Structures are given as C-alpha cells and as structure tokens.
Structure 1
C-alpha cells in the first residue's frame, strides 16, 4: 500500500486535512467527520460503525506527517517542472551515447 493511501481520509480519500481521532482509533478530516455526522442520525464511525460519544481530538502526529508529505510532494513536483521543456511541456531526457 502506498504512503499516500495510508495518509488519506477514508471519507474524502484525500490526504488528511486537520485530522481528528475518534475513540475507536480511526482518523478522519475534521470537516469530513462533521459532515458525516450532520448527514446521519448518529455519531458512528464511518469505518467500524462504533458509537463515538466524545468529541474527536486533534491527531497532531498525523497532521504533522501529512504536512511534511505534502511539502515533499510539492518540492518534488517543482523539481520535476524545472526539467520540463518550456515549449512541449515534456520531461527533458538527457543521456549519453556510446559509439
């Protein structure tokens, strides 16, 4: 399983934004769990259906990990764009020829 999959909210499937932890141990984006609870009649976990009577708590470790991952992805993307042909938008390929 890819790292991005592990850092993705099971509701929106994007990398977590402001992740919170439920009492059952599952994490969600704060907005995703609030929207889910607003649309359903109970405060169940969308994954295991366990009742979550307490307010979710911020998952700081997961938030920091996601922020670092997204920063590294942006840096990698910027680096790749530096090696792109300005006319064709394709990656520039450099290689040596041997005779």
Structure 2
C-alpha cells in the first residue's frame, strides 16, 4: 500500500482528506479531533503552526476512495489485498465501520 494514503493520526486510509499549508494531509475529522486535544492548530507531523485554513485534498480523496473501493471489492486473481495492521490476507469488511 502507498504510505501516502495513510493518515498519520489514525494510521488508516484517509477519509475526507484535508491538507495544511505545510502540505501534510489528514482525515478532516481526525485533524479536528487532534487539534481539540492539543489545544493548538499545529501540524501533527511537523509541528508547524497552521496559519492558513485547511483545504480539501481532492486528488488524495480520489486516490484513497479508489483504493478503498478496490479493497471492498475483494482480492483479484492477480494480487491479494493484505491487512496493513496484521499483515494477513483480508477475510472480511465491516460495512458499518467501513474498514477491514
């Protein structure tokens, strides 16, 4: 899996990705939660103060949605989809949580 699809806060595939002025990207909800806990608006990765508004990262959203769609459709004959947490073939997908 491309590590650029992973949110450094929750370590899962980004959902509704947003980017900061430093160009790091996060799930919108994870970033808001992180900022609420940290009581500042610094980047969780590089710690730079975010002076600009967060912007939706449409390119990353398209890539992440495409990757997640391939995961949900199941492994193809060519390649098995592997759980990044357990390093095993994926056996099931939780529709409620939208994750493997």
| TM-score in same-fold range (> 0.5) | yes
Stretches of structure 2 lacking an aligned partner (at least 5 in a row): 78-100
User: 1:17 aligned to 2:15?
Assistant: yes
RMSD in angstroms over aligned alpha carbons?
1.5
Stretches of structure 1 lacking an aligned partner (at least 5 in a row): 81-99
C-alpha displacement at 1:19, in angstroms? 0.2
Give the distance between the partners of 1:39 and 1:62, measured in 2 at CA: 25
Give the distance between the partners of 2:16 and 2:40, measured in 1 at CA: 22
Give the distance between the partners of 1:31 and 1:41, measured in 2 at CA: 15
Give the distance between the partners of 2:47 and 2:72, measured in 1 at CA: 35
Structure 2 partner of 1:88:
none
More helix by share: 1
Q: TM-score, normalised by structure 1?
A: 0.71
Q: TM-score, normalised by structure 2?
A: 0.71
* Runs of 4+ displaced beyond 3 Å: none
